[in-house]
């Protein structure tokens, strides 16, 4: 019976490469054991069939950033029903245009960013990338978010003007934003530095009650549309390498 060895050793022998390169092939998801991808170089193999994908490359794998279309009732950052639980291989959007291969490592240590109310829906960001984290935290007040807000009630005098410019919230003066009617019961907000509960507060100050909030865009990145329409609630896609908020 063959003595078990580390998978990296077997790949090194198969590819006639260094142990370091063999470990890189494995971590990048190019190696299968009995037909199943294994990403752990220390995995032990004996009689199992080890194969390396003919397209295997030694390129560094970028840390993942995923874009989720959050359904209502899901906690964005903290809570009993966290958004991170929705990020699985099975829920990846079928029309994801990124061409990024799914790796097990992509589902580890994803940090949710850009808070969204529990009952709100729409675009949410989860990342392993420190550059994305810094952009969406340190520069948060500089990045415009777009929301569709369904409301009911009667807009008060000069209400639209007040929404665009002229309110205080949580002890601070709000920066000007762009608010317009999209339909008789739906407002579009293009706004920076939104805090929890702010959109509800703003609408209440002009006589409107918020029924639902949906975030469509963060900076230059939208939820995403494919040949079969927009990415559905509960699905996610990768942020393509090179695209920025």
The position carrying tokens 């929301």 is 147
CA–CA dist 179, 146 (Å, integer): 10
Q: Is the pLDDT of residue 233 over 70?
A: yes
pLDDT tier, 1 (very low <50, low <70, confident <90, very high otherwise): low
User: What are the phi and psi torsion angles at 175 (to 5°)?
Assistant: -70, 155
This prediction's pTM? 0.86
- The set of residues, in sequence order, having a beta carbon less than 8 Å from that of 110 and lying 6+ positions away, is 64, 66, 84, 87, 126, 127, 128
Pairing assessment for the beta strands 178-183 and 168-169 based on DSSP bridges:
unpaired
Residue 10 scores a pLDDT above 80: yes
- pLDDT digits 0-9 by tens, 44-97: 999 899 999 998 889 888 899 999 999 999 998 888 999 999 999 999 999 999
- Domains observed in the chain: 5-52 (3.10.290.10), 65-140+220-238 (3.30.70.580), 144-218 (3.30.70.1560)
- CA 4 to chain CA centroid, Å, is 40
- HEC letters along the chain: CCCCEEHHHHHHHHHCCCHHHHHHHHHCCCEEECCEECCCCCCEECCCCEEECCCCCCCCCCCCEEEEEECCCCECCCCCCEHHHHCCHHHECCCCCCCCCCCHHHHCCCEEECCCCCCCEEEEEEECCHHHHHHHHHCHHHCEEEEEEEEEECCCCCHHHHHHCCCEECCEECCCCEEEEEECCEEEEEEECCCCCHHHHHHHCCCEEEEEEEEEEECCEECCEECCEECCCCCEEECCCCCCC
pLDDT for 132 equals 96
Which residues share a beta bridge with 68?
A: 124, 236
- What integer pLDDT is reported at residue 7 of this predicted model? 93
Q: For residue 74, which of 114, 117, 113 has the smallest C-alpha distance?
A: 117
Instruction: State the pLDDT confidence band at 209, using cuts at 50, 70 and 90.
Output: very high
pLDDT digits (tens, 9 = 90+) for 171-205: 889 989 999 999 999 999 999 989 889 999 999 99
């Amino acid at each position: 019976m063959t003595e078990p060895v580390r998978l990296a050793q077997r790949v090194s022998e198969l590819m006639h490469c260094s142990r370091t390169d063999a470990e890189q092939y494995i971590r990048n998801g190019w190696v299968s054991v009995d037909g199943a991808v294994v990403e752990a170089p220390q995995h032990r193999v004996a009689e199992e069939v080890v194969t390396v994908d003919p397209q295997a490359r030694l390129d560094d794998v970028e840390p993942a950033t995923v874009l989720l279309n959050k359904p209502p009732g899901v906690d964005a950052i903290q809570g009993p029903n966290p958004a991170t639980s929705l990020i699985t291989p099975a829920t990846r959007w079928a029309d994801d245009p990124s061409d990024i291969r799914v790796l097990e490592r992509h589902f580890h240590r994803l940090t949710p960013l850009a808070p969204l109310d529990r009952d709100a829906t729409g675009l949410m960001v989860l990342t392993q990338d420190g550059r994305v984290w810094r952009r969406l935290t340190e520069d948060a007040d500089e990045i415009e978010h777009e929301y569709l807000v369904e409301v009911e009630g009667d807009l008060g005098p000069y209400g639209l003007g007040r929404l665009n410019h002229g309110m205080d919230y949580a002890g601070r003066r709000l920066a000007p934003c762009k608010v317009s009617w999209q339909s008789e019961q739906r407002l579009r907000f293009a706004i920076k530095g939104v805090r929890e509960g702010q959109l509800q507060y703003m609408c209440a100050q002009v006589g409107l009650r918020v029924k639902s909030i949906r975030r469509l865009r963060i900076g230059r990145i939208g939820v995403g549309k494919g040949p079969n329409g927009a990415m559905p609630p509960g699905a996610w896609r990768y942020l393509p390498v090179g695209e920025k908020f």
